[in-house]
Structure 1
Amino acid sequence: DIHILVAGKAAKPAADAAAKLAGVSKVLLAESDELANNLAEPLADLIVSLAGSYDTILSAATSVGKNVLPRVAALLDVAQVSEIIEVISSDTFKRPIYAGNAIQTVQASDAKKVITVRTASFASAPEGGSATIEAIPAVSDPGLSTFVRDALSASDRPELTSAKIIISGGRALGSAEKFREVILPLADKLGAAVGASRAAVDAG
């Protein structure tokens, strides 16, 4: 059985959407003020409180998933399998290493698996399901961190970790001005995310 956890504040619309996904048997909806800003500690504690019933805990390899699931794995005392791109069997997965220049096959020996997934490597789940939605209590916030404010850069481009198309540039472009002149218009034309080599990032 596949259950989806939807955690946040005023998250019922997201739970309704998740319940329509094919293959999902139950949606667990946890709503509280402490979960409103995706702080890692209360979300990790919530997942750990539910983990006893599950063999595998999955999250997309987004900024939130990469922030929360390592804490979950540590609290459960298991080794996380990060950013998988293929499932070979129930305990064996493929993941990129060395900036994607090599593919590593990993076999997880832990009874409970904690995994982050590169979503661009998998087809989206179709709709057609009618899962039940169960409201569950949120665990109390351990108070290890506090939300201060969002400082987000606004962009109409897709997120790099889940983009279907990525336009990337490196030191050969020579300058930030040339990067903006060549890479950004092409990315906008293709609806792509923008990446850059380490050298280009270091150069600003």
Structure 2
Amino acid sequence: MTALVIAEHDNASIKTATLNTVTAAAACAGEVHVLVAGECAAAAAQAAAQIVGVAKVVHADGVSLKDGLAENVAAQVLAIAGNYSHLLFAATTGGKNVAPRVAAKLDMAQISEVTRVVSSDTFERPIYAGNAIATVQSDEAVKVITVRATGFDEAMPTGGSAAIETVAAVADCGKSRFVSREVMKSDRPELTAAKIVVSGGRALGSEERFKEIITPLADKLGAAIGASRAAVDAGYAPNDLQVGQTGKIVAPQLYVACGISGAIQHLAGMKDSKVIVAINKDAEAPIFSVADYGLEADLFAAVPELVKAL
């Protein structure tokens, strides 16, 4: 059996979630290949070839793949899908956009958000907002899988020496077109890949207070900034900072929750963090049930003191 990982990249480098997906793929099949689909993406293909555990990189390069339109990427995957027993995507926005299209075209049932590979046909995935783990066995000829990156270690990005095979890029399907992309530039680590995350909740009260309290602590720790859904809905933080079942799933080495009550929706996105620190003046807040360290205190006094101590 051979597994194909659909790489996420920027035409120059491979994104971290792909490394986690390679680890999952290695547990599914004896051989792992990586598809790099893009335009002028030779550098990304070379980077993929360096990943430890990858036997071959399939490089499709063409203008139709430049912006990663889901219809075109799905068509590229389908063009070579017959060679593989497993097709794996990272459970990111990009992966979730392409995988269902591939599964539907193959008439196969997709297996979503896999957190553990039991065997080549048996997988574990969270259900009920992570409160239960389902064991799923699939008899599909081709398993179409999305992988929750936080469930797997990253494959080593260098040290491999995979062969690179070039294949023809598919033609543009014409069903969608790329309009524009707005990329926020930040010196902070990416939220889903950060080793430390500092998050704020609705208790902060305003966007100004969110920045005043959370930003200095994140700066001191070299951390990414996250937010609860309640804080995002209230306008204290932008949508791309939301952590939770309907936001981003994170599992950093350290997660600091400031003024977050710990609703199930939020816990589903961060409870796999290695160390969880909660600061909340409500002793009954659910966040304390998952926290390794809890501080029952007013965050407006406690966080500045912590920053000063650091």
Would you call these one fold, judging by a TM-score over 0.5?
yes
Question: Quick check: 1:28 aligned with 2:55?
Answer: no
* 1:101 CA displacement: 4.0
**In 2: Cα distance, 1:36 partner to 1:124 partner:** 26
Question: Quick check: 1:67 aligned with 2:97?
Answer: yes
**In 1: Cα distance, 2:66 partner to 2:152 partner:** 28
Are the structure 2 counterparts of residues 105 and 177 from structure 1 closer, same or farther at C-alpha, using a change threshold of 3 Å?
Answer: farther
1:8-87 superposed matches below 5 A: 8-87=38-117
**In 2: Cα distance, 1:166 partner to 1:97 partner:** 24
Are the structure 2 counterparts of residues 19 and 60 from structure 1 closer, same or farther at C-alpha, using a change threshold of 3 Å?
Answer: same
CA contact (8 A) 2:64 2:170 kept: no
- What RMSD, in angstroms, separates the aligned Cα atoms of the two structures? 1.9
**In 1: Cα distance, 2:194 partner to 2:32 partner:** 25
**In 2: Cα distance, 1:96 partner to 1:175 partner:** 33
Question: Quick check: 1:153 aligned with 2:164?
Answer: no
Question: Quick check: 1:202 aligned with 2:233?
Answer: yes
CA contact (8 A) 1:165 1:192 kept: yes
Match of 1:177 in 2: 208
**In 2: Cα distance, 1:117 partner to 1:157 partner:** 25
**In 2: Cα distance, 1:158 partner to 1:62 partner:** 17
Question: Quick check: 1:189 aligned with 2:207?
Answer: no
Q: Deviations over 1:158-185 (max 9, x none)?
A: 3333333332222222222222122233
**In 1: Cα distance, 2:151 partner to 2:70 partner:** 25
Over the matched positions of the two proteins, sequence identity in percent amounts to: 61
Q: Deviations over 1:101-156 (max 9, x none)?
A: 44333323322111112223322222332211111001111111001111222333
41-50 or 82-91, which moves further after superposition? 82-91
* Structure 2: gaps spanning 5 or more residues: 1-30, 236-310
Alignment length, in residue pairs?
Answer: 204
Are the structure 2 counterparts of residues 193 and 83 from structure 1 closer, same or farther at C-alpha, using a change threshold of 3 Å?
Answer: farther
What is the TM-score of this pair, normalised by structure 2? 0.61
Q: In the alignment, which of 164, 189, 192 is matched to residue 133 of structure 1?
A: 164
Are the structure 2 counterparts of residues 157 and 43 from structure 1 closer, same or farther at C-alpha, using a change threshold of 3 Å?
Answer: same
Q: In the alignment, which of 95, 99, 109 is matched to residue 125 of structure 2?
A: 95
What is the TM-score of this pair, normalised by structure 1? 0.90
Any idea what SS the aligned residue of 2:180 has? Answer: coil
**In 2: Cα distance, 1:125 partner to 1:77 partner:** 30
In structure 1, what residue type is equivalent to 2:168? P
**In 1: Cα distance, 2:190 partner to 2:128 partner:** 21
Match of 2:285 in 1: none
Question: Quick check: 1:107 aligned with 2:107?
Answer: no
In structure 1, what residue type is equivalent to 2:233? D
**In 2: Cα distance, 1:99 partner to 1:155 partner:** 30
**In 2: Cα distance, 1:202 partner to 1:19 partner:** 42
**In 1: Cα distance, 2:104 partner to 2:40 partner:** 29
170-179 or 136-145, which moves further after superposition? 170-179
Q: Which has the higher contact order (CA 8 A, sep 6+)?
A: 1
Question: Quick check: 1:120 aligned with 2:150?
Answer: yes
